[in-house]
Amino acid sequence: MSKINTVEDYSTLLECPYDASHRILESRFQTHLIKCKKHYKGEKKETCPFNSTHIINKSELEHHLKTCVDRKNFERSIQAPEPISHPPPEFKPLPDGEDWDVDVRAYNPAQYATNTPVLRSLQGASKSVRKQFRNDERKRLLALKSNGPE
């Protein structure tokens, strides 16, 4: 019989803010907080805006916000980006005689699929129409396989 859950490294266990007797694996901590919060009836708790796993007594929230270790990550993310230190690349027009818009052909996926040996299906049609479509598909694929016209 194999063990389902072994805890070899106890440093990954975290203490539940709602019940100090609960020790939870770090990977299961957020799930536990949701379940434990439903049954908690003690002092009013608040969630830290910098880390949702920090659940603090309402009276201690102000102190926690000043000393929260995740605050620096938040502040770093909202800082304005540094100005660009180099100019953007210089615009160079196309050489004479080169125009990419001249030979533009529209892509028609239905036409492409008709002339290629791919298996197509018909959705949303009646049973008899789908049956006829499957028969026509068999003929089309056989014609494409023999490289002859349909």
User: How much is the pLDDT for 73?
Assistant: 80
Residue 150 within any structural domain of the chain: yes
Residue 55 within any structural domain of the chain: yes
Q: Can you say how many angstroms the Cα of residue 17 is from the centroid of all Cα atoms in its chain? A: 30
Residue 26: pLDDT band (50, 70, 90) is confident
Residue 107 within any structural domain of the chain: no
Which of 50, 69, 88 is the last residue before a domain boundary? 69
Residue 78 within any structural domain of the chain: no
Say whether pTM exceeds 0.75.
no
List, as one string, the DSSP characters of 72-91: HHHHHHHSPPPPPSSPPPPP
Residue 147 within any structural domain of the chain: yes
Which of 24, 44, 69 is the last residue before a domain boundary? 69
Which of 42, 69, 96 is the last residue before a domain boundary? 69
Number of domains making up the chain: 2
Query: pLDDT of 99-139, one tens digit each?
Result: 767 767 788 888 888 888 888 888 899 999 999 999 999 99
Q: Is the confidence at residue 8, as pLDDT, over 80?
A: no
List, as one string, the DSSP characters of 12-61: GEEE-SS-TT-EEEGGGHHHHHHHHHHH--SS-EEE-SS-TT-EEEGGGH
Which residues fall within 8 angstroms of residue 50, CB to CB, at 6 or more apart? 65, 68, 70, 71, 73, 74
Give the residue numbers spanning the domain of 60.
10-69
Residue 115 within any structural domain of the chain: no
Q: Which residue has the higher pLDDT, 128 or 85?
A: 128
Residue 133 within any structural domain of the chain: yes
Residue 47 within any structural domain of the chain: yes
